[in-house]
Amino acid sequence: MDEITAKQSISIIIGVSLCIFSVVVLLAGSLFDNISEFGICPMLLIIAVAVYILITGSSTVNAYKQLLKIEDYEPKKKKNERVIGAVAGIVWPLAVCIFLFCGFVLDLWAICWIVFPITGILFGGFAAFYNSIKADK
């Protein structure tokens, strides 16, 4: 598994470096007035290669974790995720309903956006609390 994670680290380094290098290609193309528009094509091509490297490098590690049922793919964590997902399926649509009710009925569009950060904080607290309770058992 260590060899696989080393390959993932190398692919992340190469992918991020290519993304950064793609901007340099664009800037180099902008130095010349008559071909400045043509710097976008090589930049997008380099970004496409970088994304391919990032995806293929990380998918191998995740496939091994899933096959070995380690970390995020443990059966206990899967059960916890199902419960948290079920609660999320109720809480977030309820937050949207509160947002829309306050906006359309009470005309509080300027302040009702606060529903989403509050819901996110409370839901994150619930998920952490639930995971800590289930970890003790």
In this prediction the pTM is: 0.55
Percentage of the chain exceeding pLDDT 90:
54
**DSSP state, residue 70:** -
pLDDT, position 106: 94
When pLDDT is averaged across residues 29-56 and rounded to a whole number, the result is: 85
pLDDT at 34 over 70: no
**Mean pLDDT confidence for 50-56:** 95
CB atoms within 10 A of CB 125: 10
Q: How many helical (H) and strand (E) elements, i.e. helices and strands, does the chain have? A: 4, 0
Name the pLDDT band for 61 (thresholds 50, 70, 90).
Answer: confident
Of residues 17 and 60, more confidence is placed in 17
Lowest mean pLDDT segment, chosen from 18-22, 27-31, 109-113: 27-31
Mean of per-residue pLDDT scores for the chain: 88
37 in helix, strand or coil?
helix
Percentage with pLDDT > 70 across the chain: 94
pLDDT digit string, tens, across residues 71-125: 777 777 777 788 899 999 999 999 999 999 999 999 999 999 999 999 999 999 9
Q: Give the model's pLDDT for residue 41.
A: 86
d(CA 85, CA 98): 20
**pLDDT exceeds cutoff 70 at 12:** yes
Q: How far apart are CA 57 and CA 12, in angstroms?
A: 7
The SS3 of residue 74 is coil
How far is residue 121's CA from residue 75's CA, in Å, rounded to a whole number?
26
Q: Are the beta carbons of 97 and 112 closer than 8 angstroms?
A: no
CB 119 within 8 A of CB 95: yes
Report domain extents, the chain. Answer: 2-71, 74-136
